[in-house]
Chain A
Amino acid sequence: MATAEKTSKGLSPDTLKEFLREMLLIRRFEEKVEERFRAGELPGFLHVAIGQEAVAVGVCRALEDDDIIASTHRAHGHTLAKGTHPNALMAELYGKVEGCSRGYGGSMHLYDVENGNMGANAVVGGGLPAIVGAALAYKLRGEPRVALAFFGDGATNIGTFHEALNLAQLWKVPAVFVCENNHYAESTPAHQQLPIEDLTKRAEAFGMTAMTVDGQDVEVVYRTALEATSHAREGRGPVFLLAETFRLTGHYIGDPQVYRPKEEIRELRRTQDPLDRLRATLDVPDDEWDAMEREIAELVDGSVEFAKNGTDPEPQDALKNIYAE
């Protein structure tokens, strides 16, 4: 995996093209997941993050290799952006031994400890306290590492959010809390679940540094995330990073979105697709774009092939990994 230049200055076109490629990989991977789910090949409950790719890529590119993340039920993008190979991710979605969680987790519980993914959590807000604890461990051991949690706007209503941010700020641990505000908690729009509009006020109430970013602009996300992680890494305390973003599809695959005007989705797809926005900025020629598409289609198709040829666990393997020896 190519490495972005770790700078908060303007990024070179080459680096931005790497970002674009990664976002395209996430997009095409998730479209393939939707397709295979509808074909009846994928068990379980799947949530795609189509429209939110710039947050995953911008944030994860600002992290160092040994920084860690905790993710959410909408975790495919974060997982790929943190370095998990599409093969290992797809194999997990097919429930194979070669999967990144060895078939024990599934889409909502993606882990890749070697790549710093400490787990996607299917309990909203459930992973936030552990990020505080991991950051505390780094602080106690004097390691210059950052622990980062992704979560949605809906999670800012749950107790773990408030308790975790309070403790993180109190102890000044190197944690970053990335709120992906896609304006819906499952089906419930912001005005039915949030009494305030500006969610940074929730972090500021704890005395925490808060930043807001256009989550559809990957360069801005990257630069702000780098500022946030540097702040935390240098011992200046945790940061709340609010990324305003948009989910261009339903809460889960198959969600008819009866709660959302069709016009809203059409308009967002027209104006807020992070891939379109970056491609327009970069002015990528058609032949270059087509080559990128071909390369990614091959990678994604290859991941399906890999997953289908993967090893099924033995049923009785269900009783392994409950306890460490």
Chain B
Amino acid sequence: MPEITYREAVRDAMSEAMRRDGDVFIMGEDIAEMGGSMGVTQGMLQEFGPERVRNTPISEMAIVGAGVGAAMAGMRPIVEIMYQDFTTLAMEQLVNQAAKHRYMSGGQLKVPLTVRTQGGAGWSPGAQHAQQLEAWFVHVPGLKVVFPSTPEDVRGLLFRSIYDDNPVVFFEHRTLYGIKGEVPAEIEPIELGQGRIHREGEDVTVVATGRLVHEALAAAADAEKDGISVEVFDPRTLLPLDEEGLVSSVKKTNRCVVAHEAIVRMGFGAEVAALVQERAFDYLDAPVERVGARFSPLPFAPVMEAYVIPHEEDVLAAIKRTVGRNGNG
């Protein structure tokens, strides 16, 4: 199997869809000659031309809204929002328009739009360029939310998202663009709503997303040295969520840690904790532990930033807290 980077995997998925299908095109800021601020669309202008790789003004509402309109008119647009912090500028179009047209029309319309964006801290951009806002979108019926953590997953899930007939908000993690991983020779679409067990274990399930999947895998390797067997479950899509896969893993291990880079309070982990207590309460040997960012904007100074966001040792500490308790609490 070939080995490619996460960045190349994103590009592969888009390029392959655009080769197969004239209805697919991409628009966003600085995506043409510059190849995107993360270099994701490099070379696509040369292959597909400026009509299908469209540089836009700095105009998030209009770009997302134009994507909604093009989608309703039968295209399959991909919109790139440079930083997920800037999705806040397009919230109205995402929440009131993209997510609602099918519903308000009583099923007459569909909105096959993919909005790609990226974020993630660890490089000191400060408070407005690295937030993790995926939980905001999981609260909106009508949207789908995808957050892959490996090259294989990002390629298969993005390709599938482009062909989904619903608006998909697709999160990429900035610090993962350079990681390499094996992928199938041909793109294999991955259905939304199927989690992935990255590592099997017996004692505790770590439900992790994005960068924290990799932190969790490192923590699991460390925990193994102490005789703790950790299962790492990546839901990959937050909406729809693979509830069966998640719950059955927790029923097997009897313990659960949920880890994401986003702020803990009201985060995706809160929903996972609620789900686990609703569906696996009698199986739990310990309270669900949550790992995530502290309740703070992202600071600039590296030492402060590192203090705010979660790392491998935070996941490891949470694992040890859960296994440190016995079944009687």
Contacts and interface: CB of A to CB of B under 8 A. Distances in A.
A103 B106 contact: yes
A119 B104 contact: yes
Interface stretch (A12-20, A104-112, A188-196, A291-299): A104-112
Interface residues of A, number: 46
A282 interface: no
Q: Give the most central of B51, B66, B74, B141: most A CB within 10 Å.
A: B66
Describe B's contact surface by its main secondary structure: mixed
Contacts of B96: 123, 126
Nearest to A321: B107
B61 interface: yes
A112 to B, nearest CB: 8
A321 B101 CA distance: 10
Given A126-B92, A159-B61, A104 B68 contact: no
Interface in B60-101: 61-75, 77, 92-93, 96-97, 101
A131 B65 CA distance: 8
B61 A118 contact: no
B64 A137 contact: no
Nearest to B58: A163
A322 B140 CA distance: 10
Contacts of B51: 140
Contacts of B77: 133
B166 interface: yes
Nearest to A160: B61
Contacts of A113: 105, 108-109
A164 B74 CA distance: 20
B65 A130 contact: yes
B56 interface: yes
A179 B25 CA distance: 30
B104 A109 contact: yes
B104 A132 contact: no
B107 A320 contact: yes
Contacts of B103: 104, 321-322
Contacts of A68: 73
Given A160-B92, A163-B62, A135 B69 contact: yes
A104 B69 contact: no
B57 interface: yes
Given A126-B96, A133-B70, A105 B105 contact: yes
B93 A129 contact: yes
A133 B65 contact: yes
Contacts of B73: 68, 133-134, 137-138, 147
Nearest to A313: B106
Q: Give the most central of A99, A130, A134: most B CB within 10 Å.
A: A130
A133 B92 contact: no
Given A113-B105, A159-B61, A166-B57, A129 B69 contact: yes
Contacts of B25: 140
Interface residues of B, number: 44
B109 A132 contact: no
A323 B142 contact: yes
A227 B200 CA distance: 68
A129 B166 contact: no
Interface string A43-68: 00000000000000000000000001
B92 A130 contact: no
Contacts of B63: 167
A324 interface: yes
Contacts of A133: 65-73, 77
Nearest to A92: B106
A130 B97 contact: yes
Given A133-B77, A163-B62, A147 B105 contact: no
Nearest to B71: A133
A128 interface: yes
A111 B69 contact: no
A325 interface: yes
Contacts of A321: 102-103, 105-107
Interface in B37-71: 51-52, 54, 56-57, 59, 61-71
A118 B109 CA distance: 8
A102 interface: yes
A134 B70 contact: yes
B222 interface: no
Q: Give the most central of B62, B63, B107, B144: most A CB within 10 Å.
A: B62
B211 interface: no
Contacts of A104: 103-107
A167 B68 contact: no
A249 B314 CA distance: 63
A105 B106 contact: yes
6 contacts: A126-B93, A133-B66, A138-B73, A167-B57, A171-B54, A323-B102
Which 9 residue pairs of A and B lie closest in terms of their CB atoms, listed nearest first? A129-B65, A133-B69, A102-B106, A130-B69, A133-B66, A163-B62, A137-B73, A324-B165, A111-B105
Given A123-B96, A324-B102, 18 more contacts: A111-B106, A111-B108, A118-B69, A129-B65, A130-B66, A132-B66, A133-B69, A134-B69, A134-B72, A136-B69, A140-B25, A160-B61, A163-B62, A164-B66, A321-B102, A321-B103, A324-B110, A324-B112
